[in-house]
Structure formats: structure tokens, C-alpha cells
Amino acid sequence: MSQLVLFLLLLPLCSHTALASHCTTETATKTFQKCMNLPTQQASIAWTFHPHNSSLELAFFGSFISPSGWVGFGINPTSPEMTGTQALIAFPDPNTGQIVLLPYILDPSVKLQKSPLLSHPLDNIHLLSSNAALYGGKMATIHNGATIQIYATIKLQPNRTKIHYVWNRGLYVQGYSPTIHPTTSSDLSSTATFDVLSGSSSAPQHNDLTMLRVIHGTLNAISWGILLPMGAITARYLRHIQSLGPVWFYAHAGIQLFGFILGTVGFAIGIRLGELSPGVEYRLHRKLGIAVFCLGAMQTLALLFRPNERNRFRKYWKSYHHFVGYSCVVLGFVNVFQGFEVMGASRSYAKLSYCLGLSTMIGVCIALEVNSWVVFCRKSKEDKMRREGLIGSSDKGSSGIQN
């Protein structure tokens, strides 16, 4: 099961790698010295650096994800993150439909969406010239997947050749104010640091993190999204089958313990991913993950304090155990789907296979629940008839699953 989920989660990654375009130093108007594929969004960059005057000529190659969207890149003077980036953003003019290229400064208020993003002259970057053009010339139109080339000439500080490069794209523009970009893992990881003189880059680190994300998602989907619900089903529908004896309890405890161990490993990988991805935040996913892990830990620790059947606190322990357990299962389901969203796999085969498995599990639960009520009602009717003397006391009701 784990290998299947891992394979399906890797499909989008493999297809993305296969479709990634190769960088080029040749454009319709200029030839550059170096080029580099960027690790996300199938984007690339080409540049020529002139050491004698510290000027940098560069071209960014990106693509639109909406006919009314935007595409842009920028340079952060201090660190590889969005906040503080001096950006050039291209989008269709709302009045003429022609491509416009405007400068923007991405301050913290933009990240928190407290105010619209307004064009502002760049203050920490010495921009000498800039322009943008659709790939295909003047006859090209903006559509989903349309390629754009953004050119800029920048004056760098003397003896400084390393730059922090940031790029992204969004769905639409309000007037002349680009709205927030999507928040999938690739969109939040669109940063790279590279040396314009040597061409060396730290961008491949994002490719290394991709495998960690896949492992993190796979382990958590199996543990919180499959094993823990299966453990709950085992306890609810098997414990009243007398012929099984205590086997149901060992099955329930074993499944839950194994699921919690896998979930703990996945949770630890998620914490590590957060440390390795500065500036990348999934607040809801993180809070749900912490809540699910804490509830799972409380359930596991509750086994150590499980009173015996005759203890007067047994009923309180059972209420606590049921409430915490079902809360953990429900939040686990929610966070698995939230994980698909942040990984950009909301329409992937991985999510489809998980939904099919989940639907099957729900169908089995409904069938068992209906059966348990049928058996319960039949047994109640037989007990009533036995009390009224309509049937003999030697007759026995069917053994089965009860609530």
C-alpha cells in the first residue's frame, strides 16, 4: 500500500521534470553568456555579467497560468525570500490588453495581504532598463501557458556577484495591482541564490526537499488517513464478536500503535521541512498536524492508565478515549486533504486513489453499522418476547455485532 501511494505521489514530480524546458542563451533580440533552469514553474534565466562595470543583463523566461494573470521576477538584496524583494511584474494592461511591466517592492504588508500591491520605483536595486515580450512576437496572445520573456539590465554593487533571485506568477490582477500567487509548495519555493560570475547556484536544494515532502505526505496519509481509522473500525465492530475473545483488542492496539509510530516519523519530517524552508509557511496544515499528533500521543498514553472493567472511573476513561480518538481521526482526514492542497496535488492520481480507498472504508463502515443495528434490533425483540414468555428461554439470539 505504501509503495503504491509513494508511486502515485511521485507521478506529478516525474511529469513535471519531464516537461521542464531547457534553458537557452539565444533570444530573438540578444545572445547571453550563461543560462540556468530554475527549480520550479518550468522557468529559466539567461544572463551576461560585465565585471568591468558590475552590470548584469538578464532575461527571465516564465509562463502565465491565467489569461488575466501576471508573471514576475525580482532580486532580494538580503535573503532568498519574498519579503524585501525588488520585483518586475508583467501583466496585460486592463485598458488596452497590451503587456505592461511595472516595478514593485514586496514589503511585509504584501505578504500578509493587508494592502494591495502598488507599483513603486525600486530603491535598493539600480535598474538601468527593462522590457517584456510574449514569446511569439506581437501576434502572440495571453493564455494559460503563454510564455513571456522579461529583460532587465541591473547595476550591481562592486565586487558583489551573488544574488538572491525570486520569481512567481498569479491568477489575476486587480487594476494594476497583482493579487497573491498560489500557495503550493513549488510556488512558495520559487527562490534561488546563484553567482552571476561562476554560474554556481544553490537552487537544487529545492529538488532535494521534494523527496522529503513526498515521504512526509506518504507516511502521514498512511498513518493518520488509513491506519488510525482502520484501528477505530476494528474496535467498534469486532469487539462484540464473542468468538474473537481479546483478539480484537490486540488488533486494535497494534494497528493504532503502528499508525502512531509512522505518524510520528512523518510529523518529525514535517518539522524538519519547516526548518529547511525559511519563508515557506503552511499555517493551517501545520496547526492541524500539531493537533493530530498531540491527540495521537494522548491516545497512546491513555493505554498506560486504562482502568479495569470494575473500576468506577472506567466509564470516564471510555468517554475520554472515544472523544479523543474520533477527534484524531476526523482531524487526520482533514489534514491529509490539506496536505494534498499544499503539495499542489489537489487533482492528482495520488489524491484520487486516496479518495477511492477512503470511500471504500466508509462504505464498509456503513454496511457494518447497518448490520450492527439489525442484529441489535433483532436481539432486543427476542429479549422482549422472551420476557413476555412468547419464546422459550433456551432459544438464543444470533451472535453478531452490536453497538
pLDDT single digits (tens) 115-125: 788 888 888 78
Which residues are documented as binding site for heme b?
A: 216, 252, 285, 321
Cα(277)–Cα(205) distance, integer angstroms: 10
Mean pLDDT of the chain: 82
pLDDT at 25: 87
Q: State the amino acid at position 183 in one-letter form.
A: T
CATH of 207-387, one of 1.20.120.1770, 3.10.580.10, 3.30.70.100, 1.10.238.10: 1.20.120.1770
CA 35/CA 24 separation, integer angstroms? 6
Name the grid cell of 156.
Answer: 550591481
> Between residues 374 and 399, which one has the greater pLDDT?
374
Ranges in the chain annotated CATH 1.20.120.1770: 207-387
Q: Quick check: 218 and 278 in contact, CB under 8 A?
A: no
Residue 343 is predicted with a pLDDT of 77
Sheet holding 55-63, edge to edge: 34-37, 44-50, 55-63, 147-155, 126-134
Sign of CA pseudo-dihedral 37, 112, 69, 155: negative
Most confident of the following: 14-28, 97-111, 159-173, 186-200:
159-173
Using pLDDT thresholds of 50, 70 and 90, give the confidence band for residue 19: very low
Q: How far apart are the first and last CA of the chain?
A: 30
Give 258's pLDDT tier (boundaries 50, 70, 90). Answer: very high
Do 305 and 324 touch, CB atoms closer than 8 A? no
- 85 phi-psi bin (left φ>0, alpha ψ -120 to 50, beta other): beta
Domain with CATH 2.60.40 in the chain: 21-202
In whole angstroms, give the CA distance from residue 27 to residue 57: 13
Say which CATH class 21-202 falls into: mainly beta
Q: Looking at the DSSP assignment, which residues form a beta bridge with residue 134?
A: 148
User: Is 90 exceeded by the pLDDT of residue 12?
Assistant: no
Nearest by Cα to 223 from 270, 187, 188, 181:
270
Q: Judge contact between 168 and 72, C-beta under 8 A.
A: yes
Residue 20 is predicted with a pLDDT of 40
- Which residues belong to the annotated binding site? 216, 252, 285, 321
How many other CB atoms are found less than 10 A from the CB of residue 30?
Answer: 13
Q: Kindly give the residue spans of alpha helices, DSSP state H, lying in 163-204.
A: 185-188
Give the per-residue pLDDT at 332: 93
Give the pLDDT confidence of 52-70 residue by residue, as tens digits.
888 999 999 999 999 889 9
Give the Å distances, CA to CA, from 381 to 211, 377, 384, 391: 58, 6, 5, 11
- The DSSP symbol for 28 reads S
Task: Give CA–CA dist 214/329, Å, rounded.
Answer: 21
Beta-bridged to residue 177, according to DSSP, are: 174
Cβ density class 151-173: b for 16+ within 10 Å, e for less = bbbbebeeeeeebbbbbbbbbeb
pLDDT band at residue 279 using 50, 70 and 90 as cut-offs: low
CB neighbours of 90 closer than 8 A, spacing ≥ 6? 70, 71, 72, 99, 100, 101, 132, 148, 150
Instruction: Give the pLDDT band of residue 2 (cuts 50, 70, 90).
Output: very low
- Residue 206 binned pLDDT confidence (cut-offs 50, 70, 90): low
* Locus of grid cell 538578464: 58
Does residue 336 contact residue 224 with C-beta atoms inside 8 Å?
Answer: yes
